[in-house]
Structure 1
Amino acid sequence: MPAPRQVSMAVIGAGGVGKCFLTQLHFLASKLCQSPSAPIYLSLIYVSTSKKAIYHADYRSHSNWDSELQASTTPPLALPQLSDYLVKAPGKTVLVDNTSNQEIANAYPDFLKKGISIVTPNKKAFSSTYQLWQDIFHAAANGSGHGNGGYVFHESSVGAGLPVISTLKELVETGDEVLKIEGVFSGTMSFLFNSFQPVAGGGGKFSAEVKTAKDKGFTEPDPRDDLNGLDVARKLTILARLAGLKVESPTSFPVQSLIPKELESCSSGEEFMERLPEFDGQMDELKQEAEKGGKVVRFVGSVDVPKGEVKVGLEKFDKSHPIAALKGSDNIIAFYTKRYGDNPLIIQGAGAGGEVTAMGVTGDLVKVLRLLH
């Protein structure tokens, strides 16, 4: 019978997604330690926010991380110190990065080379320079790395808990030819355009729908961070790279920003929201033009693999098209491949939210645990 195994867990980010993940981790840990065939003991040895951290020199596990973290006055370890601390931890170590921090992303190759596995929804690690992408996968055991590197999984960096990345990887690894990837990749943009131009007609002014989306918590605190299209461009960069294209960065292909030129210089999100109604006329024209042709406007991203083209922006769709019929803040991703022919393989569902994003992260952790011996 296999001996029980201990795996040390370090978690950076204990806010929205982080909090949901830590709750799911508690459930997973209680299940794994009861496995009759090969129990695994998950030990939570480090938790940090951007301001503070909890950890012990003797690597004791934190069972009440929430109250301990609230009471803590210890600052988080700098990344080189964290890496030294984790290397000496008992058993194998998994680092869970629930942030969207570029500095942490830049340190992934170093952690992986030291045998520390990483699971993360952090898009910046996989969508900034092509060099960082290569460095991460050269260091990872499940990349082109050597056997003693850590594993890296990032399902939640595209489509939250939807199996977008694992599906694309499987299509590529089994020798299918991916021709085109197209879809609505942003829960925010999905909600915005489904309310701005519903298939049944109607819908409010664009600025009013942006305000509603913001009030419901669907947008970033500053809605310009969604409307500039960069979030979608990051996700497209990741998928294009997985499909074999050497995309340099999310700004190396056409990305349509929905921030009017005149408002690019606004000093704050508040000022931007105040002035946005001045430009409702432009969006109304787009809506009416689409309506005349029996179509609706949606904010989509697409990758044309044979042509090597990636683009993000507004497109018109027939009302019967699956992209037009989306509801709420759902995402939809269509894979057009040789095997699937004219009918694409479609993945659809909630593409935003703490619980589903954390589910993708927890699912990745399960994959890593299966690989660690």
Structure 2
Amino acid sequence: MKVLKFGGKSLSNEGISKVIDIIESKIDNGDRITVVVSARGNATNELESILQKASSSEVYQEQLEAFKLSQRQITPLLDFNPEFNKLEKLLEGVSLLEDFSTKVKDEVLAQGELIAIKTVTELLQQRGINANATDARLLLKTDESFGNAQPIEGVSKENIVNYYKKHNGTTVNVVSGFIGSNLKNETTTLGRNGSNYTASLLANYLDADELQNYTHVDGIFTANPDLVSDAKKIEELSFSEANELANFGANILHAKTIIPLIEKNINLRILNTFNQKDEGTLITAKSSAKGIKSISVLDNVALLNFEGRGLLGKVGVDARIFKSLGSHDISVSIISQGSSERGIGLVVDKEKAELAVKALKHEFEYDLKTKDVNHISIVNDVAVISIIGQDLSEFHLPYNALIQNQIVPLLFNNTITGKNVSLVVKKEELHKAVNVIHGQIFGVAKKINIAVFGKGLVGGTLIEQIIKSTPAILDRRKIQLNIFAVANSKKVLLSQHGIDENWQAKLNESSIESSVDEVIDFAKAHHLENLIAVDNTANQDFIENYIPLVENGFDLVSSNKIANTVSHSFYKKLRQVLENNKKTYLYETNVGAGLPLIDTIKLLHDSGENITRIRGVFSGSLSFIFNKYSEENVPFATVLKEAIENGYTEPDPREDLCGNDVARKLLILARELDLENEFEDIHIENLIPEEFRDSSAAEFIDNCDKLNDHFNKIKDGQEENHVLRYIGDLHGDLQQTKGNLDVKLVSVPENTPLGSLKGSDAIFEIYTESYGNQPIVIQGAGAGAEVTARGVFGDILRLTKK
């Protein structure tokens, strides 16, 4: 025999025909079956809501009539008067008393299952199937614990075996789940998801071959698909693993369902009523795979904090806690206890939290007066995440992932076996936390969610590079890069699952005004994890958004130099916020475009190496200009115009010639050595004659021939075999608070690293105490959108390793 159990969603008005089809196909295949049904659709919740209204003297009749209409819809001619009349009488009494007992509640809720067995039986009989509606209250005898009754095994088993001897053969018994009755024949219920328990008891007592639990999903998943979009179905589980899942909140199972099946070694298969081709999840005595199985969630809980430093070392405190809670039928699902002082965290059902505090305060009344107990309090709006199969030796991986995403668990504990770990988190963090943990331990790829601000030459190039490289990075490094936001100065494009190659058109069509707050709110609303904000704006005002972004969970990557060259106070404040929030700010492209300069300097400095000087050609545009001007016998204006035409300079070349860009880069390097220099400390040689500084860019370019004489004199005044280079030079005693920063045009021997520079390359000489007069030289392409974007991309990939 097989026991088939159908849940409420399967039995809804929209799904019940599928249930009848499944039962009919089993009979056509010659299977011997019995059927267990839950209340149809959302009946149990609706009845509970109506009951609450009645007890609060609210008008409930309209909702009751809507309930009746919904239950009649599939079988309008079927007589539900016994159930409906019972409901009306019970609710009328509750309304008059403005209160109800758990016993009354059980009687009210039971009507949902009684209506369900009538409906399913009628529909089966309409198809010529010999079906028999079976009220489980006649068979399943329980104790008097209304709301969470326990079966009396001997009596129940005898009743069920005898009943099936009379109603067997070709008869399909349709049994009401969830309900039973005590020895006084008073209606009881078996607790949350008790229909599953009813089905497993039947399977045990009838020695069934298999229990098939039909629901609205394909089986048990690595996490709730409603919380984690890429949750994977688990093909096979062991009884012990399934039992852990049930205990820690897996909605698809009842915590007591597994025990009767283990006793008789009866397989349990979780199946989808609406997808009959899927084979579901099979639960057997032995799992076919090892390792972490699933993440389950309990969200209807509260955390009790019990603190009593004066109780340290006293014997029997824990016993008193559990005795007081047990006397009020309050179960503790998780306990976490500190060793350095008497502090205990207890997780209980949210509905019983106030009662639990009241019980504990009564028990420890004297201890509260003597201050041995400091306080007993409730933390509401929490949830428990349990990682079933998590070995404690590897728990640091998901835990660190949570911390990196600014989710700090309130407490955690592990089971005696060391294979399951539970965390308590704030409820508002639940969705994101489950996704972070799932991505860490189950994910085929780690998802990195990126917001790009600024879509100019560098920003647009970066976006195209990421889109093009994403498949290869996913395949090679198991990292899923997901650009969920692109913003320019006017609009922002938002897409939870990432932009595509048509992003520019979609950005232009977007109706959302550009705002960092919009991006932050979108990330929160969609519970996005592993957030990176990329600043390609070169906008001074935008750096004010850095701190809010960090505080809301974003790491930072920037090609914008401004944040590192404004006041030293902002520089330090930003780094303090980064440290407080466990976030990282990478900006390798601020100085050397795609060259590994800042990383090298950080490594040397952090390792204790005394850097004594940094000198080099920092600007790719000025490198091109003076390399060509020094090598060829051409006027300076000719070289400058060529650089403009080739796009090496800014549209207004004075932005390059004034030296401010080189000065900013030099200041960034000084601050990497923990120097406190400000921009005003830099001595800058401005290459623009004063008479050209206030004219328009067009006027300057038209009259740049007037620069020829000035630069010819400098060039002709050099020593033999020397060339001109425009350099940044950080020197002096760099162990002090400030260093000397010079930006200037110099003449150097052409056989030196600086003198042998070609094209638009940048070069950096790093002098250290250990290396003496022989500098570390870093040289390469120092400018260009492709190079800079690739450097930003490199910073993004460095962050993904976190």
Counterpart of 2:454 in structure 1: which amino acid? G
CA contact (8 A) 1:44 1:61 kept: yes
Shift of 1:273: 1.3
Residue equivalent to 1:156: 589
Give the match's secondary structure for 1:340: coil
Aligned 1:56-135 pairs, distance under 5 A: 56=495, 59-69=496-506, 71-88=508-525, 89-135=527-573
Counterpart CA distance in 2 for 1:275 and 1:243 is 41
Counterpart CA distance in 2 for 1:283 and 1:216 is 21
Name which of 769, 774, 779 aligns with 1:338.
769
2:691 aligned with 1:258 = no
After the TM superposition, which parts of structure 1 deviate over 6 Å for at least 4 consecutive aligned residues?
Answer: none
Name which of 601, 605, 608 aligns with 1:175.
608
Name which of 183, 197, 203 aligns with 2:630.
197
Counterpart of 1:99 in structure 2: which amino acid? T
Counterpart of 2:494 in structure 1: which amino acid? Y
Give the match's secondary structure for 2:452: strand
Counterpart CA distance in 1 for 2:482 and 2:674 is 37
Unmatched 5+ stretches in structure 1: none
Residue equivalent to 2:667: 237
Counterpart CA distance in 1 for 2:504 and 2:519 is 22
Shift of 1:271: 0.4
Counterpart of 2:714 in structure 1: which amino acid? L
Residue equivalent to 1:227: 657
Counterpart CA distance in 2 for 1:21 and 1:34 is 20
Give the match's secondary structure for 2:592: coil
Provide Cα deviations, 1:277-296, integer angstroms capped at 9, x if missing partner: 22321111000001x44322
Residue equivalent to 1:296: 723
CA contact (8 A) 2:724 2:747 kept: yes
Structure 1's 55 and 236: CA in aligned 2 closer, same or farther, altered over 3 A?
same
CA contact (8 A) 2:485 2:519 kept: no
Give the match's secondary structure for 2:743: strand
2:676 aligned with 1:246 = yes
Counterpart of 2:704 in structure 1: which amino acid? L
Residue equivalent to 1:47: 486
Aligned 1:270-289 pairs, distance under 5 A: 270-289=698-717
Give the match's secondary structure for 2:482: strand
Provide Cα deviations, 1:288-346, integer angstroms capped at 9, x if missing partner: 001x4432221000001516101101111012111111111000000000122211000
CA contact (8 A) 1:6 1:90 kept: no
Q: TM-score, normalised by structure 2?
A: 0.43
More displaced stretch, 213-222 vs 95-104: 95-104
Counterpart CA distance in 2 for 1:244 and 1:214 is 36
2:740 aligned with 1:309 = yes
Larger Rg: 2
Counterpart CA distance in 1 for 2:535 and 2:565 is 15
Provide Cα deviations, 1:135-171, integer angstroms capped at 9, x if missing partner: 221111xxxx12x343210001111000010010011
Structure 1's 214 and 84: CA in aligned 2 closer, same or farther, altered over 3 A?
same
Unmatched 5+ stretches in structure 2: 1-290, 292-440
CA contact (8 A) 1:333 1:347 kept: yes
Give the match's secondary structure for 1:14: coil
Residue equivalent to 1:3: 442
Counterpart of 1:79 in structure 2: which amino acid? V
Give the match's secondary structure for 2:682: coil
Counterpart CA distance in 1 for 2:732 and 2:467 is 41
Identity of aligned pairs, percent?
Answer: 32
Instruction: Say how many residue pairs are matched.
Output: 356
Provide Cα deviations, 1:77-111, integer angstroms capped at 9, x if missing partner: 32333333334442121111122111112221221
CA contact (8 A) 1:94 1:116 kept: yes
Shift of 1:75: 4.8
CA contact (8 A) 2:681 2:741 kept: no
Shift of 1:218: 0.5
Q: Tell me how large the CA RMSD over aligned residues is.
A: 1.9
Shift of 1:27: 4.0
More displaced stretch, 222-231 vs 353-362: 353-362
Shift of 1:67: 4.6
Counterpart of 1:357 in structure 2: which amino acid? T
| Larger RCO, structures 1/2 (Cα 8 Å, 6+ apart) | 1
Shift of 1:236: 0.2
Counterpart CA distance in 1 for 2:506 and 2:617 is 37
Counterpart CA distance in 2 for 1:254 and 1:75 is 44
Counterpart of 1:328 in structure 2: which amino acid? G
CA contact (8 A) 2:490 2:514 kept: no
CA contact (8 A) 1:232 1:301 kept: yes
Shift of 1:65: 4.2
CA contact (8 A) 2:493 2:507 kept: no
